[in-house]
Amino acid sequence: MKWVILMIICTPFWETIKKKGITTYALINKHGFSSHTIHRLRHNGGISTSLINELCVLLDCKVEDIIKYIPDSK
């Protein structure tokens, strides 16, 4: 059995909030997201489907506007 490394990145999230005119300051102070959550998004850390859902509702966008799957190139 061959293991494949999968990668999900949050780059689309940053493009989406910029397009929507929402800052990380607003996400933290107005919408109640923690600075740790913003850190995980910034560093492509693990995020829950619940968080993805909350962001999609807030930003009125699709999942692919938050995360992107990049398959292993091997």
Which pairs from 16-23 meet CB under 8 Å and 24+ separation?
16/59, 16/61, 16/65, 16/66, 17/59, 20/59, 20/61, 22/59
Q: Domains of the chain, with CATH numbers?
A: 9-70 (1.10.260)
Average pLDDT, the chain: 92
CA diameter of the chain: 48
Residues near 46 by beta carbon (within 8 Å), at least 6 away in sequence:
40
More confident residue, 57 or 2: 57
Residue 3's pLDDT is 56
35-62, pLDDT tens digit by residue?
Answer: 999 999 999 999 999 999 999 999 999 9
